[in-house]
Chain A
Amino acid sequence: QKEVEQDPGPLSVPEGAIVSLNCTYSNSAFQYFMWYRQYSRKGPELLMYTYSSGNKEDGRFTAQVDKSSKYISLFIRDSQPSDSATYLCAMTVSTQNAGNMLTFGGGTRLMVKP
Protein backbone atom coordinates (compact mmCIF):
# COMPACT_ATOMS: atom_id res chain seq x y z
CA GLN A 1 0.00 0.00 0.00
CA LYS A 2 1.32 3.43 -0.92
CA GLU A 3 2.00 5.90 1.86
CA VAL A 4 -0.08 8.57 0.09
CA GLU A 5 -3.10 7.64 -2.01
CA GLN A 6 -4.70 9.88 -4.62
CA ASP A 7 -7.38 9.05 -7.17
CA PRO A 8 -5.77 9.45 -10.62
CA GLY A 9 -8.98 10.61 -12.30
CA PRO A 10 -9.50 12.09 -14.77
CA LEU A 11 -12.04 14.33 -13.10
CA SER A 12 -14.12 16.24 -15.63
CA VAL A 13 -16.26 19.18 -14.49
CA PRO A 14 -18.07 22.07 -16.22
CA GLU A 15 -16.69 25.58 -15.93
CA GLY A 16 -17.84 27.28 -12.74
CA ALA A 17 -18.16 24.06 -10.72
CA ILE A 18 -16.67 23.53 -7.29
CA VAL A 19 -13.91 20.93 -7.46
CA SER A 20 -12.84 18.71 -4.59
CA LEU A 21 -9.50 16.91 -4.79
CA ASN A 22 -8.42 14.54 -2.03
CA CYS A 23 -5.55 12.51 -0.63
CA THR A 24 -5.37 9.96 2.14
CA TYR A 25 -2.19 9.00 3.93
CA SER A 26 -1.01 6.41 6.39
CA ASN A 27 1.90 8.07 8.23
CA SER A 28 0.51 9.92 11.25
CA ALA A 29 3.85 11.74 11.64
CA PHE A 30 3.21 13.93 8.57
CA GLN A 31 2.78 17.55 9.64
CA TYR A 32 3.36 19.65 6.52
CA PHE A 33 0.99 19.33 3.59
CA MET A 34 1.25 20.80 0.12
CA TRP A 35 -0.63 20.87 -3.13
CA TYR A 36 1.19 21.22 -6.42
CA ARG A 37 -0.30 21.95 -9.82
CA GLN A 38 1.33 20.48 -12.89
CA TYR A 39 0.42 21.52 -16.41
CA SER A 40 1.10 19.10 -19.25
CA ARG A 41 4.83 18.82 -20.04
CA LYS A 42 5.76 21.25 -17.25
CA GLY A 43 7.23 20.92 -13.79
CA PRO A 44 5.01 21.02 -10.69
CA GLU A 45 4.42 24.40 -9.08
CA LEU A 46 3.50 24.96 -5.44
CA LEU A 47 -0.12 25.97 -5.05
CA MET A 48 -0.92 25.69 -1.35
CA TYR A 49 0.98 24.91 1.82
CA THR A 50 -0.50 24.08 5.24
CA TYR A 51 0.93 23.07 8.56
CA SER A 52 -0.92 20.61 10.79
CA SER A 53 -4.73 20.56 10.78
CA GLY A 54 -7.19 23.20 9.64
CA ASN A 55 -8.10 25.25 6.59
CA LYS A 56 -6.17 27.70 4.49
CA GLU A 57 -7.69 29.88 1.81
CA ASP A 58 -6.01 31.62 -1.11
CA GLY A 59 -8.33 33.19 -3.66
CA ARG A 60 -10.41 30.45 -5.26
CA PHE A 61 -8.41 27.70 -3.56
CA THR A 62 -8.95 26.21 -0.10
CA ALA A 63 -6.73 23.55 1.43
CA GLN A 64 -8.10 21.46 4.26
CA VAL A 65 -6.25 19.03 6.54
CA ASP A 66 -7.91 16.52 8.86
CA LYS A 67 -5.09 14.77 10.69
CA SER A 68 -7.46 12.63 12.76
CA SER A 69 -8.75 11.04 9.56
CA LYS A 70 -5.41 11.29 7.72
CA TYR A 71 -7.20 13.07 4.89
CA ILE A 72 -6.41 16.27 3.02
CA SER A 73 -8.46 18.14 0.45
CA LEU A 74 -8.10 20.92 -2.07
CA PHE A 75 -11.23 22.82 -3.09
CA ILE A 76 -11.36 24.99 -6.19
CA ARG A 77 -14.27 27.42 -6.43
CA ASP A 78 -15.57 28.81 -9.73
CA SER A 79 -13.32 26.45 -11.68
CA GLN A 80 -11.89 27.73 -14.96
CA PRO A 81 -10.58 25.91 -18.05
CA SER A 82 -7.15 27.24 -17.07
CA ASP A 83 -7.39 25.07 -13.91
CA SER A 84 -7.13 21.98 -16.12
CA ALA A 85 -3.97 20.27 -14.90
CA THR A 86 -2.75 17.44 -12.71
CA TYR A 87 -2.86 18.17 -8.98
CA LEU A 88 -0.35 16.45 -6.73
CA CYS A 89 -0.54 16.33 -2.97
CA ALA A 90 2.69 16.10 -1.02
CA MET A 91 3.56 15.84 2.64
CA THR A 92 6.48 15.57 5.01
CA VAL A 93 7.28 15.01 8.66
CA SER A 94 9.54 18.01 9.05
CA THR A 95 11.03 20.88 7.10
CA GLN A 96 14.17 21.22 9.21
CA ASN A 97 16.63 19.59 6.88
CA ALA A 98 17.08 19.22 3.14
CA GLY A 99 16.80 15.48 3.61
CA ASN A 100 13.26 15.63 4.99
CA MET A 101 11.76 14.08 1.91
CA LEU A 102 8.44 15.00 0.47
CA THR A 103 6.14 12.05 -0.19
CA PHE A 104 3.93 12.68 -3.19
CA GLY A 105 0.60 11.27 -4.21
CA GLY A 106 0.29 10.01 -7.77
CA GLY A 107 -1.71 13.04 -8.89
CA THR A 108 -5.30 13.66 -10.01
CA ARG A 109 -5.90 14.89 -13.53
CA LEU A 110 -8.56 17.61 -13.65
CA MET A 111 -10.34 18.76 -16.80
CA VAL A 112 -12.58 21.84 -16.67
CA LYS A 113 -14.82 22.05 -19.74
CA PRO A 114 -15.99 25.47 -21.04
Chain B
Amino acid sequence: NAGVTQTPKFQVLKTGQSMTLQCAQDMNHNSMYWYRQDPGMGLRLIYYSASEGTTDKGEVPNGYNVSRLNKREFSLRLESAAPSQTSVYFCATRGTGRGYGYTFGSGTRLTVV
Protein backbone atom coordinates (compact mmCIF):
# COMPACT_ATOMS: atom_id res chain seq x y z
CA ASN B 1 0.00 0.00 0.00
CA ALA B 2 1.97 2.98 -1.31
CA GLY B 3 -0.47 5.80 -0.37
CA VAL B 4 0.43 8.78 -2.56
CA THR B 5 3.12 8.36 -5.20
CA GLN B 6 4.73 11.30 -7.00
CA THR B 7 7.00 11.23 -10.02
CA PRO B 8 9.60 12.40 -10.73
CA LYS B 9 11.38 13.00 -7.42
CA PHE B 10 13.79 15.55 -8.89
CA GLN B 11 13.78 17.66 -12.05
CA VAL B 12 15.83 20.49 -13.50
CA LEU B 13 14.21 22.56 -16.24
CA LYS B 14 15.37 25.45 -18.34
CA THR B 15 13.25 28.59 -18.41
CA GLY B 16 10.44 28.16 -20.90
CA GLN B 17 10.43 24.38 -20.89
CA SER B 18 7.29 22.45 -20.00
CA MET B 19 6.76 19.41 -17.84
CA THR B 20 4.07 17.42 -16.05
CA LEU B 21 4.27 16.26 -12.46
CA GLN B 22 2.42 13.02 -11.85
CA CYS B 23 0.53 11.97 -8.75
CA ALA B 24 -1.29 8.71 -8.07
CA GLN B 25 -3.08 7.51 -4.94
CA ASP B 26 -4.34 4.10 -3.93
CA MET B 27 -6.37 5.29 -0.94
CA ASN B 28 -9.68 5.61 -2.80
CA HIS B 29 -9.97 9.26 -1.72
CA ASN B 30 -12.10 11.71 -3.68
CA SER B 31 -10.16 14.89 -2.93
CA MET B 32 -6.69 15.54 -4.29
CA TYR B 33 -4.45 18.58 -3.98
CA TRP B 34 -1.28 20.14 -5.33
CA TYR B 35 0.83 22.27 -2.99
CA ARG B 36 4.13 24.04 -3.34
CA GLN B 37 6.50 24.55 -0.43
CA ASP B 38 9.03 27.38 -0.33
CA PRO B 39 11.40 28.24 2.54
CA GLY B 40 9.57 30.15 5.29
CA MET B 41 6.33 30.22 3.28
CA GLY B 42 4.74 27.01 4.46
CA LEU B 43 2.61 25.05 2.05
CA ARG B 44 0.49 26.96 -0.46
CA LEU B 45 -2.34 25.40 -2.42
CA ILE B 46 -2.00 25.54 -6.21
CA TYR B 47 -5.04 23.55 -7.40
CA TYR B 48 -7.35 20.97 -5.99
CA SER B 49 -9.89 18.43 -7.22
CA ALA B 50 -12.90 17.59 -5.09
CA SER B 51 -13.76 14.58 -7.22
CA GLU B 52 -13.07 12.96 -10.56
CA GLY B 53 -13.84 15.41 -13.35
CA THR B 54 -13.63 18.60 -11.26
CA THR B 55 -10.75 20.96 -10.59
CA ASP B 56 -10.52 24.35 -8.87
CA LYS B 57 -7.91 27.03 -8.30
CA GLY B 58 -6.19 27.41 -4.99
CA GLU B 59 -4.12 30.25 -3.60
CA VAL B 60 -1.34 30.34 -6.23
CA PRO B 61 -2.63 28.88 -9.54
CA ASN B 62 -0.90 31.19 -12.03
CA GLY B 63 1.47 29.39 -14.38
CA TYR B 64 -0.01 25.94 -13.71
CA ASN B 65 -2.67 23.65 -15.13
CA VAL B 66 -4.05 20.42 -13.74
CA SER B 67 -5.85 17.32 -14.95
CA ARG B 68 -7.82 14.87 -12.87
CA LEU B 69 -7.46 11.91 -15.18
CA ASN B 70 -9.45 9.50 -13.02
CA LYS B 71 -10.04 8.92 -9.33
CA ARG B 72 -6.46 7.80 -8.77
CA GLU B 73 -4.46 10.33 -10.76
CA PHE B 74 -4.05 14.10 -10.57
CA SER B 75 -1.33 15.75 -12.65
CA LEU B 76 0.18 19.23 -12.52
CA ARG B 77 1.55 20.84 -15.68
CA LEU B 78 3.93 23.74 -16.07
CA GLU B 79 3.51 25.02 -19.63
CA SER B 80 6.42 27.49 -19.64
CA ALA B 81 8.57 27.12 -16.55
CA ALA B 82 9.95 30.21 -14.81
CA PRO B 83 12.64 30.49 -12.10
CA SER B 84 9.90 31.60 -9.65
CA GLN B 85 8.47 28.09 -9.97
CA THR B 86 11.55 26.57 -8.38
CA SER B 87 10.05 24.81 -5.38
CA VAL B 88 9.15 21.51 -3.79
CA TYR B 89 5.77 20.27 -5.02
CA PHE B 90 3.57 18.00 -2.93
CA CYS B 91 0.50 16.09 -3.95
CA ALA B 92 -1.98 15.21 -1.21
CA THR B 93 -5.28 13.42 -0.78
CA ARG B 94 -7.99 13.71 1.83
CA GLY B 95 -10.58 11.21 2.89
CA THR B 96 -14.01 11.96 4.32
CA GLY B 97 -14.66 12.32 8.02
CA ARG B 98 -13.94 14.84 10.71
CA GLY B 99 -10.25 13.95 11.05
CA TYR B 100 -9.53 16.04 7.95
CA GLY B 101 -6.16 14.37 7.60
CA TYR B 102 -4.23 14.97 4.41
CA THR B 103 -1.91 12.26 3.20
CA PHE B 104 1.05 13.74 1.37
CA GLY B 105 3.36 12.27 -1.20
CA SER B 106 7.12 12.55 -0.76
CA GLY B 107 7.42 15.52 -3.10
CA THR B 108 9.04 16.60 -6.37
CA ARG B 109 12.01 18.95 -6.12
CA LEU B 110 11.92 21.22 -9.16
CA THR B 111 14.66 23.66 -10.14
CA VAL B 112 14.13 26.07 -13.03
CA VAL B 113 17.33 27.66 -14.34
Contacts and interface: CB of A to CB of B under 8 A. Distances in A.
A11 B79 CA distance: 39
B26 interface: no
Given A101-B48, A102-B43, 10 more contacts: A43-B90, A44-B102, A46-B103, A95-B100, A98-B30, A98-B50, A98-B94, A101-B45, A102-B45, A106-B42
Contacts of B61: none
Given A88-B42, A104-B43, A98 B48 contact: yes
Main secondary structure of the interface of A (DSSP, over half): loop
A75 interface: no
Interface of A: 4, 6, 8, 32, 34, 41-46, 49, 51, 88, 90, 92, 95, 97-99, 101-107
Interface in B79-113: 90, 92, 94, 98-107
A105 B42 contact: yes
B75 interface: no
Contacts of A97: 50
Interface centre among A4, A45, A102 (most CB of B within 10 A): A102
Interface in B41-64: 41-45, 48-51, 56, 58-59
Contact of B104 (A6, A43, A103, A106): A43
Contacts of B44: 104
